[in-house]
């Protein structure tokens, strides 16, 4: 297949964007680790020392460069080509993490990388050509056609329903609510980004498009959509931790104050924490009215969940699938990307997209499993599982009561410090 100059430029920019964005994750993580070593406080527990770390800023600049390249790519190539190629950033970060951060890549994760590459090649080979556009008014005409107005109206109605009805009721218990909002708004933002990028491209070529109100209208739509996406994507990333806290507050088991402080000491001593422990200990403190202590456990649990990338492993593939699918649908409706293509090419693009989705999901799932096992494995030889000790506590109640007495003074002092 012969690529047009614009398509080739878009492909190169999309690939460069994936390289920069994937690399930025590794650089920022190295910067966070270095800042944590210097200051002794990680960013996840409230530290801001990374703002003084040059390596972290290099990572941020690298990410910004990648996002700019991705933005410009939409001005040269169809969204059905640029959007799926974003999955390659996952491969870049996974490979660099194994080389630089010494994070082991699961064998199935390697298979996921291969699937992403194969799917991307299929999409690139069968991608449609970019239709020539001479003015932003032409894009505005496409955006105001009945078919796309129907799509846009449906998106807005669905977003309002999700925001005002489902989000208050089950937003923090169902990850599809917030990711659905992000994906729906994301499909509109990509269309606006492409329109804005094309108008800026024409302006650089000597055809000033900034004099038209349509250009500024697209800029406003981009701002609204991006702000909405960021807001609800952050909520989606924290929904599992919020669900956990609700479960903690409704648990019926009460653990004594002294035993709770003893387990807290074990947690901070060995660096080990899991759902069962925080669930029971947190419930004991809440029922005893020690809310400051409960908050400490909740913060520790949320931080370890984030470091363990459990939320990311769930949210990212779901968001990628929904966002990319809706973006392709919106682009096909608005820009008529598949007009002039035969059934074979369209089918190949869809199959390539499905292969990329499969590889992306496989990468995220295996990353979550690998990091979970490696985290627990680091501490198993040093200390038995705290959840095992809790389960054995029912059969050794007298022994625990004796141990509780030895921790009474330490418990009182810790409680006073936390209440202050």
Question: What's the rounded Cα separation, in Å, for the pair 56 and 102?
Answer: 19
The closest alpha carbon to 389, from 281, 244, 235, belongs to 281
What's the pTM value of the predicted model, to 2 decimals? 0.67
At residue 269, the pLDDT reads: 42
Look at the chain and count its residues. Answer: 420
Residue 28: what pLDDT? 85
Question: What's the confidence (pLDDT) of residue 243?
Answer: 38
pLDDT of 317 reads 72
**Rounded CA Rg of the chain:** 25
Q: What is the mean pLDDT of the chain?
A: 73
Task: State whether residue 307 is helix, strand or coil.
Answer: helix
The answer to whether 261 and 411 are in contact (CB under 8 A) is: yes
| Per-residue CA distances from 157 to 38, 185, 205 (Å) | 50, 11, 38
pLDDT-above-70 percentage for the chain: 65
Q: What are the residue ranges spanned by the domains of the chain?
A: 1-131, 133-237, 238-336+384-420
Q: Decide if 47 contacts 35 (C-beta within 8 A).
A: yes
Q: What is the DSSP string of 103-129?
A: PPPPHHHHHHHHHHHHHHHHHHHTPPP
Instruction: Report the pLDDT value the prediction gives residue 13, as an integer from 0 to 100.
Output: 95
Torsion sign (Cα): 297, 303, 308, 312: positive
Give 249-266 pLDDT, tens digit per residue: 333 344 444 454 454 445
CA dihedral 294, 297, 298, 299 (to 10 degrees): 120
Q: Which residues of the chain have pLDDT under 70?
A: 1-2, 41-47, 234-316, 367-420
Determine what percent of the chain is predicted with pLDDT higher than 90: 31
pLDDT at 314: 59
pLDDT tens by residue, 68-110: 999 999 999 999 889 899 888 888 888 888 888 887 888 888 8
CA dist list (Å): 267 to 36, 125, 150, 274, 338: 19, 53, 55, 10, 57
> Residue 315's pLDDT is what?
64
Residues with Cβ within 8 Å of 242's Cβ and at least 6 positions away in sequence, in order, are 172
Distances in Å between the Cα of 169 and the Cα atoms of 163, 178, 183, 218, 314 are 10, 12, 20, 33, 20
């Amino acid at each position: 297949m012969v690529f047009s100059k614009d398509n080739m430029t878009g492909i190169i920019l999309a690939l460069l964007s994936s390289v920069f964005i994937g690399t930025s994750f590794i650089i920022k993580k190295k910067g966070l680790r270095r800042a944590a070593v210097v200051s002794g406080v990680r960013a996840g527990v409230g530290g801001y020392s990374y703002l003084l770390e040059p390596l972290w800023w290099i990572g941020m600049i690298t990410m910004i460069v990648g996002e700019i390249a991705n933005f410009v790519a939409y001005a040269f190539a169809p969204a059905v080509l640029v959007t799926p190629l974003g999955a390659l950033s996952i491969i870049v970060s996974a490979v660099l993490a194994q080389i630089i951060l010494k994070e082991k890549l699961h064998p199935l994760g390697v298979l996921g990388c291969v699937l992403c590459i194969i799917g991307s090649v299929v999409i690139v080979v069968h991608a449609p050509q970019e239709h020539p556009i001479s003015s932003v008014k032409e894009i505005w005409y496409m955006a105001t056609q009945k078919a796309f107005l129907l799509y846009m109206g449906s998106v807005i109605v669905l977003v309002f329903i999700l925001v005002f009805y489902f989000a208050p009721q089950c937003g923090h218990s169902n990850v599809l609510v917030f990711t659905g909002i992000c994906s729906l708004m994301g499909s509109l933002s990509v269309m606006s980004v492409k329109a804005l990028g094309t108008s800026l491209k024409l302006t650089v070529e000597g055809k000033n498009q900034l004099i038209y109100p349509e250009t500024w209208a697209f800029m406003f739509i981009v701002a609204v959509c991006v702000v909405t996406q960021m807001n609800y994507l952050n909520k989606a990333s924290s929904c599992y931790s919020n669900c956990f806290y609700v479960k903690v507050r409704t648990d019926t088991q009460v653990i004594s104050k002294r035993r709770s402080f003893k387990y807290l000491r074990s947690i901070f001593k060995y660096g080990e924490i899991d759902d069962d422990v925080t669930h029971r200990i947190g419930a004991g403190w809440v029922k005893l009215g020690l809310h400051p202590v409960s908050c400490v456990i909740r913060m520790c649990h949320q931080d370890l969940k984030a470091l363990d990338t459990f939320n990311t492993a769930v949210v990212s593939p779901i968001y990628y699938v929904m966002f990319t699918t809706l973006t392709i649908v919106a682009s096909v409706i608005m820009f008529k990307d598949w007009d002039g293509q035969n059934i074979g090419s369209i089918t190949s693009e869809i199959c390539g997209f499905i292969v990329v989705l499969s590889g992306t999901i496989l990468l995220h799932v295996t990353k979550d499993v690998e990091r979970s096992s490696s985290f627990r494995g680091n501490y198993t030889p040093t200390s038995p599982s705290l959840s095992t000790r809790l389960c054995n506590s029912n059969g050794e109640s007298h022994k625990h009561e004796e141990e509780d007495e030895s921790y009474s003074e330490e418990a009182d002092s810790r409680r006073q410090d936390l209440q202050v």
